Structure 1
Amino acid sequence: MKDKMLRKQTDKTFFSILTASLIILYTNAFQYNVELSKKLASYCLVSYCSQNRLQNWSCGEACQRVEPLKDLISHTNSNDSSYIMGYDQQENAITIIMKGTNPWCIADWETDLTTEKIDYPKCESCQVNKVFYEMMQDIQEVLKKDFLYLRSQYPQSKIYVTGQSLGGALATLIVPEIYLMNQKKSIDAFYTFGSPRVGNLQFSFWYTSKRYFSKSSARVTSNKDIVAQLPPRSFPFLYTHVGHEVFYKKFSNLNEYIMCEIPEDQECSNQYTLELSMKDHGSYFGWNWAFDIFTC
């Protein structure tokens, strides 16, 4: 009973703060680009493929859905924190894709399930998932070098950041770093797919107050996706999502979705707390992610 009362009070505080912040700070309309979202999700799927196949862009159906990135860079460190980035000629955009959770890797799922927090140095009282943050730090310096190299090659390009599953959490943490590397200019698009929660309420509020460091952002979710409900909101974990949510009940029609400006809105994925699905996590845009990853 005590836990339920605390959660209700937390929810009330959350909605009061976030509603006020959206009214006062967020003056641009919440826009969602379906075609860009699909393209970035395609790159997220490609990011799981082996480096050899990526260099030749010969990773089966995953690579066939989207054009090759020019000057492709692929990085994986000893802790399996990885990303790919390159130049999208059609979009005139440097695109950074953080690799997500491998469907059959137990260690990746253990990472998604971890709940320990650590203080986040960029904002007061902010805490984020300890493992997510350490994984981001492991690749931060080399990612910075790779990004600045591409920036020197394409100085007038847009910047996109994306990630699916665990990659969505890492993308959330890397976006403020890219913002600083980009001379404190907002990046052009920040989209995640099936991202777990990253930090506490204060972190979510701070992210909102900075307008997500981007001109366009969307946290895309799929029906009862289990990962979108991790780590838990409930006491004693008290994690909170960040960002505008685009909620798909199903992907048979990509233009049928619900847009929720406030994180944890009951109209979107937060309506599900007990009925959760692993299948929904691996079926974004109607693709069979596990099969495509296995065959690429």
Structure 2
Amino acid sequence: GGGGVANGTVFDKEMAAFLLNHSRVTYCDDALVANWTCLICNSTSAMAGFRPYLVTGENKRHVFAYVGYSPERNMVISVFRGTMYLINWIQDLEYYKMDSKYGECGENSSDYGATKCMVHSGFYDDWLSVRDTVLIANRKALHDHPGASVYVTGHSLGGALAAFGALEISLMLQRKDVGCYTFGEPRVGNKYFAEFWGAWLPLGIRVVHSDDIVPHLPPRGNTMMLLTDFHHTKTEVWQEAGSDGNFTVCDDSGEDPACSDSIPQWDRSIEAHLWYLGLLMRCV
């Protein structure tokens, strides 16, 4: 399996590997990221040339992100850290509720009432805690490099934050060509949010490794309540187990029953969450 095309979504395995390494960098010590001296930071020439514009440092909500420019790829990249407290976080995710309106929907589209897009407040508040600095850094980097492409990435909780980041960068720029690659991302909002997200991010890719439990959380709910049931954004790319597992580009519903949703509840694992594209999602 290399890439694949579904519904106009092109999955670029090499791009995924590049952005995955950026997602791994976030697990390194803040200072190593700020100085760009971590091992992963210098593991390839494309990584080594990267120039950070912004490294937030952990804030009160334990959110950490960085934004920078890759000369080799002429790309502005925003990256968000996952959680270091994985077991506790996974237990909490089971009980997350859809409890926050997402107002951007109504302001930016006539098709979605502002009241219909809902998200989980924990993810949303985490995003809001770094929103302004991340958006300003993107603006500055694009001012310096006006022809650059724009990408956003993150693993785990970082994937949820990347979903908000990619959407709001797209809205700020009024562009629909922002790339977003997330790895082991949980569900962040309802179906209205997922559809609004997909309309602005037709190139969005959500990689799920094998039986990783996190993409199945918070649970979908089976109340058939479109407002309060969680629903994934498109387009899932399902990686089979193992470092060289094939990749399946799933349908654009966000919840393809033939992809990772086909795994029964009792077969989902935490271990698969820690490995993506054959690499450990830690600072190694």
Q: What is the TM-score normalised by the length of structure 2?
A: 0.84
**SS in structure 1 at match of 2:127:** helix
Match of 2:120 among 115, 129, 139: 129
Q: Quick check: 1:49 aligned with 2:36? A: no
Partner of 1:281: 273
Question: How far off is 1:221 after superposition?
Answer: 0.3
- Percent identity over the alignment is 27
Question: How far off is 1:163 after superposition?
Answer: 1.1
Partner of 1:219: 206
**SS in structure 2 at match of 1:91:** coil
d(CA) in 2 for partners of 1:40 and 1:257?
16
Cα distance change, pair 285–128 in 1 and its aligned pair in 2 (3 A): same
Question: How far off is 1:98 after superposition?
Answer: 1.4
Question: How far off is 1:87 after superposition?
Answer: 0.4
Match of 1:94 among 76, 84, 95: 76
Q: Quick check: 1:31 aligned with 2:13? A: no
Question: How far off is 1:32 after superposition?
Answer: 0.6
Q: Aligned runs of 1:110-259 on 2, under 5 Å?
A: 112-117=93-98, 118-123=100-105, 124=113, 125-182=116-173, 184-208=174-198, 210=199, 213-214=200-201, 216-235=203-222, 238-253=229-244, 256-259=246-249
d(CA) in 2 for partners of 1:62 and 1:278?
26
d(CA) in 2 for partners of 1:82 and 1:102?
11
Cα distance change, pair 102–186 in 1 and its aligned pair in 2 (3 A): same
d(CA) in 2 for partners of 1:84 and 1:111?
26
d(CA) in 1 for partners of 2:42 and 2:27?
11
d(CA) in 2 for partners of 1:104 and 1:276?
15
Structure in which a larger fraction of residues adopt helix: 1
- Maintained 8 Å contact 1:229/1:273: no
d(CA) in 2 for partners of 1:78 and 1:186?
32
Cα distance change, pair 114–95 in 1 and its aligned pair in 2 (3 A): farther
- Maintained 8 Å contact 2:166/2:178: no
- Number of matched pairs: 260
- Maintained 8 Å contact 1:86/1:96: yes
C-alpha RMSD of matched pairs (Å): 2.2
**SS in structure 2 at match of 1:220:** strand
d(CA) in 1 for partners of 2:128 and 2:87?
21
Question: How far off is 1:192 after superposition?
Answer: 0.7
Cα distance change, pair 132–174 in 1 and its aligned pair in 2 (3 A): same
Question: How far off is 1:62 after superposition?
Answer: 6.4
- Mean Cα displacement is larger for which, 113-122 or 238-247? 113-122
Unaligned 5+ segments in structure 2 are: 1-5, 106-112
Q: What is the TM-score normalised by the length of structure 1?
A: 0.80
Partner of 1:64: 43
**SS in structure 2 at match of 1:94:** strand
**SS in structure 1 at match of 2:123:** helix
d(CA) in 1 for partners of 2:52 and 2:278?
29
Partner of 1:5: none
